[in-house]
Structure 1
């Protein structure tokens, strides 16, 4: 079994890839695990043991030679894409979701959270525009350590 201790780059920044690519399909929450055993879509087992706080991302290259590469592919997550229409709506929903300690990701015009039926109900009750959909996230949702002391 091949042991991977560092990421060799990302396919988005490589001009030419080898002709044969094997994929390791991971749920986004597994991108945060530093040590794990995975299997490629060709049945090859790998051990991943990342150092120095490195985290996996969609498209990361775990192995590469002239003919082959092994690349991370993230599976889709069910998310709620929140699309407030005013700064007031944004502030109110961010405050309420922050009180629940929900991890979020942001794009130019939306806030993404993992699907939760209680969040969906809150958005409906508050009249805040949103859509529920499956998306391939480039990185995992991260909880930020915090306590109310």
Structure 2
């Protein structure tokens, strides 16, 4: 059994004909975010996926097997909620409420897409969004604060990540002009134990 243990960096250009000839591996989103996986290529060959933890594969990625062979990643069609809204405000509210629930969301110019969930479908309908249950590939946003795999051909990621880091630095990297108690716990993401301190 071959092992797929390397993800080609997006800046490495490969001849399109080689990618086209490579066997494909069709995976749903839940499978594409697993770094250890027994899978079957679309040609029936069984393979083992062994990638660095935190890697999230995207449609069009190219993997390299331990024998040097290439494998092309395809995002599978899966059951998702396709969300539209009559205006930008409603779509923005929908995105806010989904983000508040830490729900993976694919963001388009005029739509949102998320894994099927009847409770969330009802919530979205109540705020005025139109929700359809459809079968489509699902590619949610990468975490703006660096969670997950920093992916080179997500065109907006580098900019979003830089902005998020700048905001984080501005908030935590200098003295505050106001006094307030601030409690850090494990969920804060700073890497230190819970404690209370006052900003000055």
Q: Tell me the TM-score range normalised by the shorter chain.
A: 0.7 to 0.9
Q: Distance in 2 between matches of 1:14 and 1:85?
A: 43
The residue that corresponds to 1:92 in the other structure is 93
Secondary structure at the aligned position of 1:6 is classed as strand
Instruction: Give 1:147 shift.
Output: 4.5
Q: Secondary structure at the residue paired with 2:125? A: helix
* Cα distance change, pair 43–90 in 1 and its aligned pair in 2 (3 A): closer
The TM-score with structure 2 as length reference comes to 0.57
1:55 match: secondary structure: coil
**After TM superposition, where is structure 1 displaced by more than 6 Å over at least 4 residues in a row?**
141-146
Q: Which residue pairs with 1:75 in the alignment? A: 76
Alignment of 1:129-148 (within 5 A): 129-137=130-138, 139=139, 147=187
Matched, 1:7 2:17: no
How many equivalent pairs are there?
144
Distance 1:106 1:57 in 2: 15
Q: Which residue of 1 aligns with 2:128?
A: 127
Q: Select the structure that is richer in helix.
A: 2
Give yes or no for contact 1:4–1:48 (8 Å, CA) kept in 2: yes
Gaps of 5+ in 2: 149-185, 189-193, 195-200
* 2:110 counterpart residue number: 109
* TM-score, L = length of structure 1: 0.73
Q: CA RMSD in A?
A: 3.4
Higher relative contact order (CA 8 A, sep 6+): 1
Listed as ranges, the gaps of 5+ residues in structure 1 are: none
Tell whether the 8 Å contact from 1:32 to 1:140 is kept in structure 2 after alignment: no
Instruction: Give how far 1:94 is off.
Output: 2.6
In the alignment, is the contact (CA less than 8 A) between 2:106 and 2:113 conserved in 1? yes
